[in-house]
Structure 1
Amino acid sequence: MLSTKRLLASLLVGTLASTPVFAADPIKIGVSQPLTGSVAASGNYVTNGAKIAAAKINEDGGLLGREVELIIEDNKSNPREAVNAAEKLILRDEVPVIMGAWSSTFTLATMPKLEEYGVPMVVETSSSSKITKAGNPWVFRIAPTSEMEAQAFAKKLETFDPPIKKVDFLSVNNDWGLGASQEFEEMFKEHGIEIGRKETVAPSAVDLSAQLSALKDTGSDTLIMTSGVEQLTLGIRQAAEQQLPQRIVTTGGSFPEPLLESPGPDGYTSTHLLFFSPWTADSAVYPEVAEGFVKAWNDAGYSFPGLSEGFRGYDGIMTIAAAIKDAGAAEPEAIRDALWGVEVKGVNGDISFVKDGPEGKESGQNEPNVYVVQLKDGEVSAQ
């Protein structure tokens, strides 16, 4: 029989053997997200997803024998602060790569700094076509463009009953909202659908009643809404209060989470374009990846509906990790070059990059999947 000392020593050795041992210096990955301000809910969801990815990487032995450390900066839902966040990450923290910056406006503001300092950024959310058309070879986007989203929605048009014949738009007044409105308008026109009234709302607005009132009697059957979680939730509630006759379809992948616990009027239905549906993770392209992420998210105690955006942070960090591993070095130029060859099995599906933008200065663009779900009486169903 083992003595007490020998038993304790044996247990200690076993514990140490199961714990990764890393080199002294961690590999830093910068993260720029809106953790406060008008779209803070989404930014925190994405950041939580990034934390889950980093934890998994470290549990699996890290990268290049080193621990992964996320350096997280709050861009405060503001493009000027997004620039400041990028400079802090690059100059102060010396990160070799960044993930960010949620909003198209924040990302576009950040992009000149990437080129100035020669640091790549994986764009996990922003959808404006300007991002990959601008000629910035340090940008790699895993999120769909608004054009991709619109074309994916076009394939669902026949599923609507009654059919979509005339649409209005309510969009947040920034690069994301205006870009989405333009792309969806062009798609609807291609399918012979009439365009009605277009309203915009400031990113910081906390009341959409005036815009919704202006849309009430347009004769349209559908209202396309593009904004973050906060304004989508408010807009759907106020539309129900005003008894807007249009069906509401939201774009951009944000989900009005508060409407699950506190639904609108009985029978009121809204439709949402997402890039991951946690309610149907078992039917994802890679169910084992999606379900594993959902489990880790739930184990961490995060809000379940936040998964529909949190996955972006997970996929973004996993994409960066794959590039660092392939590069064999945590150096900006090596990571950028390696990003062109990554093949990642993500929560959304396959992640790889094709060239987009002017010849010689192309950005990388992934071709993601788009899901459509409906919310009715606090319950979600796939469409």
Structure 2
Amino acid sequence: MVTRRTVLKGAAASAVALSSYGRWSVGYAADNPIRIGVMTPLSGPAETSGRSVKAGVEIAAAQINAEGGVLGRPIQLEFRDDKANVAQATAMAHELLGSGVNLLTGSNSSSVVAALGPVMQQENGVLIGTLASAASLNHENYNPNVFRASETPYARMRGLAQIASKQSGDLKRWSGIIPDTDFGHSSWETFVGGLKEFFPSEAGVEPEILDPIVVPLFSSDYKSYIADAMKTPFEGLFHATYGADSVTLFQQARPYGLTKKAKAIYDSGNEFVVAKAMKEHTPAWWGSIFWYYGNHEDNPMSNALYEDYAAKYNDLPPEGYIAEGHADIYAFAKAIETAGSTETAAVIDALKGMEWETATGIRTMRAEDNQAIKTIEAVYIEPADNENGWTISAADKVPGGDLIEPPSPGKKLE
């Protein structure tokens, strides 16, 4: 677990890590900033993740500017609330691009990022999508002007299965509770594929896969589905509903004893959303997360990000989303410095194949499909007798390079 002492010790070395992104000049021309547009949901249902992204990009820009900026120029962020809405995001992208802002990031919605691809090409911009998770973005909907600095959903679910093989390798029967969406079904299939791949080799147990419980989105009543789950003889449970749906489902499941029935639960990506809402009633589970500072105690950039966030916000622990916005700004900074330019074509060329340091370690942007390779992480959350009502009692991570699918831009992931 990272403590204040660990953070301060790492922060002493953070200047070295930050300056490794290039020889940024000490002192810069404040009247000639590098403008980066940040379109992210700052209101509406997706506001929680959008606010985290905003915090991450702000911290990154402040850190870089404190080191002298990039090519002697400060980074200037221009925020827009896209509400995770395609029409609104498209209009805002046109506005930013029309005003000369050709570098954009922050988009959390897969449908928004897919819609913005043609806009980026037509108006000569480049977009790093921050939390957009659809597999199609670097496959059938690949666009040469769009990059993803976070992991693919395929790598994330396989990584979660590999962690399950290490942490719950004695469990044989597995089922799932998944939303009736492409994401829900594909996540389950990928997780199951990972169980079959990793369990025989690492756990010595051949997993038995039971049919998942498929639930609707935005339901107010999950009781019949919970009853079906209670009849299913699983030991390990994969879970892929999100946000308010997850809170509703697990609140309604409490009288049934669903979380007591499950010997282990693996969540696809709620981070701390459910725990913060349910407090002492939160389900105990291993949850996939973009970044957990406790996994990176030896990383000065992670320690500096944690320290800067803790100094500004009274909302600990920080969501993993924060590190994704942070990584996006550092990706642009490294690409601009490498290219010696902010021109779109030069930045795109520099991003392809680029390695850069982040709070989760070194990431590599594949040249073939504009997709980053990064560490896959999870945390174990459980109820606790403290002011939050819950705690993180364990964490794990696995390298992403062997988990990610081969590049196939323009073709659907099989």
TM-score category by the smaller chain? Answer: 0.7 to 0.9
Query: Do the aligned partners of 1:319 and 1:351 also contact (CA within 8 Å) in 2?
Result: no
Q: Is 2:70 aligned against 1:70?
A: no
State the secondary structure of the residue aligned to 2:317.
Answer: helix
Aligned partner of 1:87 in structure 2 is 94
Q: Cα–Cα, structure 1 residues 51 and 88, in superposed 2: closer, same or farther, change >3 Å?
A: same
Unaligned runs of 5+ in 2: 1-25, 200-206, 384-389, 396-414
Query: Do the aligned partners of 1:311 and 1:347 also contact (CA within 8 Å) in 2?
Result: yes
Q: Is 2:201 aligned against 1:187?
A: no
CA distance in 2, matches of 1:376, 1:51: 31
Which of 204, 211, 236 does residue 196 from structure 1 map onto?
211
Which of 320, 326, 330 does residue 308 from structure 1 map onto?
320
Which of 384, 391, 400 does residue 379 from structure 1 map onto?
391
Aligned partner of 2:238 in structure 1 is 224
CA distance in 1, matches of 2:220, 2:65: 41
Deviations 1:224-268 (A, max 9, x none): 223544444444443334321334321136333644882217xx5
Deviation at 1:48, TM superposition (A): 0.7
State the secondary structure of the residue aligned to 1:305.
Answer: coil
Q: Mapping of 1:1-383 within 5 angstroms?
A: 20-91=27-98, 93-133=99-139, 134-156=141-163, 157-160=165-168, 162-171=170-179, 173=181, 176-188=183-195, 190=197, 192-202=207-217, 208-209=222-223, 211-244=225-258, 245-246=261-262, 247-252=264-269, 254-256=271-273, 258-259=275-276, 262-264=279-281, 268-283=283-298, 287-355=299-367, 362-377=368-383, 378-383=390-395
State the secondary structure of the residue aligned to 2:72.
Answer: coil
CA distance in 1, matches of 2:308, 2:31: 27
CA distance in 2, matches of 1:234, 1:73: 31
For this pair of structures, how many residues does the alignment match?
352
Which runs of 4 or more aligned residues in structure 1 lie more than 6 Å from their structure 2 counterparts after TM superposition? Answer: none
State the secondary structure of the residue aligned to 2:62.
Answer: helix
Q: Cα–Cα, structure 1 residues 230 and 50, in superposed 2: closer, same or farther, change >3 Å?
A: farther
State the secondary structure of the residue aligned to 1:323.
Answer: helix
Deviations 1:56-108 (A, max 9, x none): 111111122222111112221333333333223222x3212111311323322
Query: Do the aligned partners of 2:243 and 2:274 also contact (CA within 8 Å) in 1?
Result: yes
Q: Cα–Cα, structure 1 residues 343 and 258, in superposed 2: closer, same or farther, change >3 Å?
A: same
State the secondary structure of the residue aligned to 1:166.
Answer: strand
Query: Do the aligned partners of 2:160 and 2:266 also contact (CA within 8 Å) in 1?
Result: no
Query: Do the aligned partners of 1:41 and 1:229 also contact (CA within 8 Å) in 2?
Result: no
Aligned partner of 2:406 in structure 1 is none
> What's the TM-score, normalizing by structure 2?
0.76
Aligned partner of 2:128: which letter? V
CA distance in 1, matches of 2:180, 2:315: 25
Aligned partner of 1:83: which letter? T
CA distance in 2, matches of 1:82, 1:172: 26
CA distance in 2, matches of 1:20, 1:208: 58
RMSD: 2.7
Deviations 1:153-200 (A, max 9, x none): 232214216514221132373x54444234224334556441412424
State the secondary structure of the residue aligned to 1:304.
Answer: coil
Aligned partner of 2:9 in structure 1 is none
Query: Do the aligned partners of 2:128 and 2:328 also contact (CA within 8 Å) in 1?
Result: yes
Q: Answer with 1 or 2: which has the greater Rg.
A: 1
Unaligned runs of 5+ in 1: 1-18, 356-361
CA distance in 2, matches of 1:51, 1:234: 33
CA distance in 1, matches of 2:91, 2:336: 25
Deviation at 1:274, TM superposition (A): 1.6
Aligned partner of 1:165: which letter? R
Query: Do the aligned partners of 2:103 and 2:344 also contact (CA within 8 Å) in 1?
Result: yes
CA distance in 1, matches of 2:323, 2:184: 21
CA distance in 2, matches of 1:84, 1:167: 42
State the secondary structure of the residue aligned to 2:281.
Answer: coil
Query: Do the aligned partners of 1:46 and 1:309 also contact (CA within 8 Å) in 2?
Result: yes
Identical-pair percentage: 23
